Amino acid sequence: MASAVRLGIIGVGNMGSHHVRSIDRIRRCRLTAVCDVVPSKMAWIEGPEKFEDSAALIRSGLVDAVLIATPHYDHTTIGIDALDNGLHVLTEKPISVHKADCERLIAAHLRHPELRFAAMFNQRTDPHYQRIRHVVKSGELGELQRVSWIITDWFRSEAYYASGGWRATWAGEGGGVLLNQCPHNLDLLQWICGTPCRVYARCSFGKYHNIEVEDEVTAVLEFPNGATGVFVTSTGEAPGTNRLEIVGDRGKLVYEGGDIVFDRTEVSVSHFRETTPHAFPTVPTWKCQIPASGCGGQHAEILQNFVDAILDGERLIAPAEEGIHSVEIANAMLLSAWKNEAVRLPLDGAEYEEALKGRIRGSTFRKPESRQAVVDMESSF
């Protein structure tokens, strides 16, 4: 058994360089190789072998595992190549741009089940979301009735979208706020509440920015038990809001401003509704402040967990297979907007892939040269 994992990082833009700088915090992990198609991005890195081609790094014999921090479409092709060449894989979010590619990537892992395959869903380490999930999954909140998440504090400038020629295009990124900023939120939504079975969304494309993809979304969700939901997001408004509200048969959870408040009913709401003799009653409740502090270990905890899973068999916090759910929800929202009708889940991955390809083929959008000249930040946020 190896005493340390030899790690290669593929893509050293904003997120990749963050991982390079934080590698010393990870126990039993050595950075032995880095890769980027722009060699100048690696100039500041000392020690690991440098590659300009991911295939060469994967076949170098220098690494046991790779962390993929490239633009989104490459997550699939590089991930499949790494898995098929016997390497453990940790990929930045989203695991792929669309469901069909998720299925291809997951199929590669199924061919090599002995390998660890994880996703960088670092928000799962946040104690606030862990506590909320516990309350929902334990049944303390009762059966889910409604969920609402207004997550509009993703404000982005024109300079942000100018930071890379691949950004905010169907061909380069495959989407906008849903594929870049909100994969964490969509992952947490399904991790806590489950996957909706029906989605109707209105998306605005380039409403606030000179881009061709979505920068504002309002979606209505329906869950298998009949519960409903609303998901609202934008990169064009300020000051933004981040408010998660989950209602069940035993009360209401609200997470906003770092505080989790649980208005817990003393009795089942449905039982009270059906048995009270009063016409205008008030359901008795207890107001509970659920304690949680800090943000958890975030990226470093996910990476440490990945290393520990490889060396010790520790259970993954964010198995990459679960990444298909947030992608599927995002795809369903976009498809619903394109078709102007509700979309049922499970989504037809082939239908969405063809619709996305149609957007790419039909695109006439071109970024001005001055915008493309800005240094590429390769951000995952």
Q: pLDDT tens for residues 231-289?
A: 999 999 999 999 999 999 999 999 999 999 999 999 999 999 999 999 999 999 999 99
In a domain, residue 191? The reply is yes
193: phi then psi, degrees, rounded to nearest 5: -110, -10
In a domain, residue 380? The reply is no
Instruction: Indicate if 256 and 365 belong to the same structural domain.
Output: yes
Neighbouring-strand partners of residue 228: 146, 222
In a domain, residue 254? The reply is yes
Distance CA 338, CA 340 (A): 6
- The tally of domains found in the chain comes to 2
Instruction: Indicate if 111 and 165 belong to the same structural domain.
Output: no
In a domain, residue 381? The reply is no
| Domain coverage including residue 303 | 5-123+297-317
In a domain, residue 379? The reply is no
Q: What is the pLDDT of residue 231?
A: 99
Distance CA 305, CA 328 (A): 25
Q: What is the pLDDT of residue 330?
A: 98
User: Token digits for 26?
Assistant: 């990870």
Distance CA 304, CA 25 (A): 9
In a domain, residue 307? The reply is yes
Instruction: Indicate if 148 and 275 belong to the same structural domain.
Output: yes
Burial class (CB in 10 A: 0-12, 13-18, 19+), 149: buried
Instruction: Indicate if 113 and 254 belong to the same structural domain.
Output: no
- pTM of the predicted model, to two decimals? 0.94
In a domain, residue 339? The reply is yes
Q: What is the pLDDT of residue 374?
A: 35
Distance CA 66, CA 88 (A): 6
In a domain, residue 273? The reply is yes
Handedness of CA 95, 96, 101, 102 (dihedral sign): positive
Segments of the chain with pLDDT less than 70:
1, 367-381
Q: What is the pLDDT of residue 368?
A: 61
As a whole-number percent, the residues of the chain with pLDDT over 70 amount to 96
